[in-house]
Amino acid sequence: QWDPNFSTGRHSMVHLFEWKWVDIALECERFLGPNGFGGVQVSPPNENAIITSPFRPWWERYQPVSYHLVTRSGNESEFTDMVRRCNAAGVRIYVDAIINHMTGNSVQGAGTDGSSFDASAKSYPAVPYGPTDFNDATTCPTQSGSIEDYQDPIQVRNCQLSGLLDLNQGKDYVRQKLADYLNKLIGLGVAGFRIDASKHMWPADMKAILDKLDNLSVQHGFTANARPFVVQEVIDLGNEAITGSEYFGNGRVTEFRYGMNLGEVFRKVNNQKLSFIKNYGEGWGMYAGNTSLAFIDNHDNQRGHGAGGANILTFRVAKLYKMAQAFMLAWPYALTRVMSSYYWDQNMEGGSDKNDWIGPPNQDGNTLPVTIFPNGTCGNGWMCEHRWRQISNMVKFRNVVEGTTMTNWWDNTENQIAFSRGNKGFLAINNEDRALSATIATGLPAGQYCDVISGNKEGSSCTGKTITVSADGSVNLSISNTEEDPMVAIHADAKL
Ligand code: AAO
């Protein structure tokens, strides 16, 4: 279903990529809960192959060995404790569910819970799956067994994605094993799933699996008969045979054009300008907002995997990144997901990053904890974009303006924009090479407001800029292009 089952007043999720369960539990209690985040997408919790060449890449998590809940993020009791504590803090947990495939087709050995497997024999005894549970030459039409042509939906669904052993979800046995795994997670209190590689499964097979799922657990605070949230990862840039809309019946679909196009707009490439995003979303040919998930970057395209290309914005271009996040969180389109990354050294050769495999901060393969400095930023290599004041304050902004429409659009025909959300919030962005200086309608009641980009409201004062809305609802704005963050955001809860 499309509803994320957030607790009241919360409207965004964050992907805590590769975090350990013990750290996520702490983060729910000390930061996400108090700051109005609705949920966390967590890395795959099921047992995966241990890859040593390259050494423990992030992508080993995308090679399942079994559905035992043991990975470098933690074990089953840690996972269970995390879900319980996050729910108690008002924060939901969404599991990245890898149900399209198992490991790469030539690996063997033991997984992260010690379960043995042998891909060349199509054998995963800890599930168990055997040779007849996978697609093969009778169902996949290519000689190589891999997807060769994305314009052929049969290849995309029945052949191997990058050599990953492709489960046959047409079989009831396979459907049941997958549903059992997801139901176990529902029993532990998760609120839904990001379904990996959905494009590579038939929508009807997916539906058959989802139909087997239990209602969410009332014990963990969900309303009676609530259904698990579903967001299907389908990369659809509009140029292939398979479209995301085929999957709307099952749940939301990732809208990859959102971050890709916005990257071009903020970088001012391909003749794009901020003034063009007045009708961003459906007006730009994207999915209906109530069926899609919007994000600026994800764990794939921040390192050149997946789709989106070189214009994707990430923490590496922090100034533009914060502006794009602010726009997304202020704009009334789709369900929004914020990325939270770890740092790695890039090694660019011929346009691609030779270090795109590097796993989370670790010592000998053991993931390092997320440490928190007194100023609220993170250590040990964790970027924690979601803790950047400009981003977390806009997560709050989105909660405050929920239910209002976009009004008072203003632009300078180039790269300066402003708009209101009803009488609840107002955002102005200057992405020009010169100052913004104008009197603009905000729709807000007259008074003094704390700009939540440059500071926080603390008691009745503001640690950043104070913005005055005059009796007629307008502001006299001047935003220099050389400011650290050339934008201003005010909302009803930041009135002084
Ligand atoms: C690893 C190794 C491989 C090895 C394999 C098996 O890297 O060399 O063969 O193990 O041993 C992640 C990593 C993979 C990794 C895998 C398993 O990214 O490198 O493979 O774990 O460890 C497609 C899928 C999409 C997928 C994306 C990466 O459709 O579902 O590839 N994303 C998810 C996860 C991802 C994960 C997996 C799936 C697998 O988020 O982290 O992989 O569980 C086109 C298609 C897209 C396709 C891309 C890339 O996109 O449309 O569907 O995504 O190609 O293959 C322009 C085009 C655009 C095109 C794009 C890229 O933008 O307009 O359409 O270029 O060409």
State yes or no: ipTM above 0.95: yes
Q: In angstroms, what is the span from residue 211 Cα to ligand 1's centroid?
A: 27
Nearest atom of ligand 1 to the alpha carbon of 260: 62
Compute φ and ψ for 279, nearest 5 degrees.
-120, 40
Active site annotation includes 23? no
Q: In angstroms, what is the span from residue 207 Cα to ligand 1's centroid?
A: 23
Q: What's residue 340's pLDDT?
A: 98
Shortest-distance Cα residue to atom 40 of ligand 1: 300
Identify the three-state secondary structure at position 293: strand
Residue 356 and residue 413 in contact, taking contact as beta carbons nearer than 8 Å: no
Q: In angstroms, what is the span from residue 139 Cα to ligand 1's centroid?
A: 21
Out of 15, 62, 237, give the residue to mutate to test ligand 1, the one with the largest number of ligand atoms within 8 Å of its CB.
Answer: 62
Q: What's residue 227's pLDDT?
A: 98
Q: Look at the chain and count its residues.
A: 496
Shortest-distance Cα residue to atom 51 of ligand 1: 235
Q: In angstroms, what is the span from residue 305 Cα to ligand 1's centroid?
A: 6
Shortest-distance Cα residue to atom 19 of ligand 1: 59
The pTM (predicted TM-score) of the whole model is 0.98
Residue 108: HSE in the Cβ half-sphere, 13 Å Cα cutoff: 8
- The crossing angle, in degrees rounded to 10, of helices 318-330 and 389-401 is 10
What is d(CA 233, CA 255) in angstroms, rounded to the nearest whole number? 9
Residues with CB under 6 A from ligand 1: 59, 62-63, 98, 104, 150, 161-164, 196-197, 199, 233, 235, 237, 239-240, 300, 305-307, 309
Shortest-distance Cα residue to atom 50 of ligand 1: 307
Nearest to 179 by CA among 213, 203, 222, 215: 213
Q: What's residue 108's pLDDT?
A: 97
Handedness of CA 80, 86, 90, 93 (dihedral sign): negative
What is d(CA 311, CA 275) in angstroms, rounded to the nearest whole number? 18
In the predicted model, residues of the chain with pLDDT beneath 70 are: none
Out of 15, 196, 235, give the residue to mutate to test ligand 1, the one with the largest number of ligand atoms within 8 Å of its CB.
Answer: 235
And the tokens for 467? Answer: 């913005």
End-to-end distance of the chain based on CA atoms, in angstroms?
A: 40
- The crossing angle, in degrees rounded to 10, of helices 256-267 and 318-330 is 130
Q: In angstroms, what is the span from residue 18 Cα to ligand 1's centroid?
A: 18
Q: What's residue 407's pLDDT?
A: 98
Q: What's residue 488's pLDDT?
A: 98
Shortest-distance Cα residue to atom 9 of ligand 1: 162
- Which one is catalytic: 18, 166, 196, 205? 196
Nearest atom of ligand 1 to the alpha carbon of 107: 11
Q: What's residue 296's pLDDT?
A: 98
- Which one is catalytic: 233, 246, 356, 385? 233
pLDDT, one tens digit per residue, over 151-161 is 999 999 999 99
Mean pLDDT of the residues in the chain: 98
Q: What's residue 310's pLDDT?
A: 93
Q: In angstroms, what is the span from residue 306 Cα to ligand 1's centroid?
A: 5
Active site annotation includes 484? no
Q: In angstroms, what is the span from residue 365 Cα to ligand 1's centroid?
A: 23
pLDDT, one tens digit per residue, over 399-458 is 999 999 999 999 999 999 999 999 999 999 999 999 999 999 999 999 999 999 999 999
Out of 15, 51, 59, 157, give the residue to mutate to test ligand 1, the one with the largest number of ligand atoms within 8 Å of its CB.
Answer: 59
Compute φ and ψ for 386, nearest 5 degrees.
-65, -15
Shortest-distance Cα residue to atom 39 of ligand 1: 62
Q: What is the CA angle 8-11-12, rounded to 5?
A: 135
Q: What's residue 234's pLDDT?
A: 98
What is d(CA 238, CA 234) in angstroms, rounded to the nearest whole number? 11
What is d(CA 230, CA 3) in angstroms, rounded to the nearest whole number? 8
Q: In angstroms, what is the span from residue 416 Cα to ligand 1's centroid?
A: 36
The string of DSSP codes covering 181-247 is HHHHHHHTT--EEEETTGGGS-HHHHHHHHHTPPPPPGGGTPPTTPPPEEEE-----S-SS--GGGG
Q: What's residue 260's pLDDT?
A: 98
**pLDDT cut 90: percent of the chain above it:** 100
And the tokens for 204? Answer: 């009807």
Q: What's residue 390's pLDDT?
A: 98
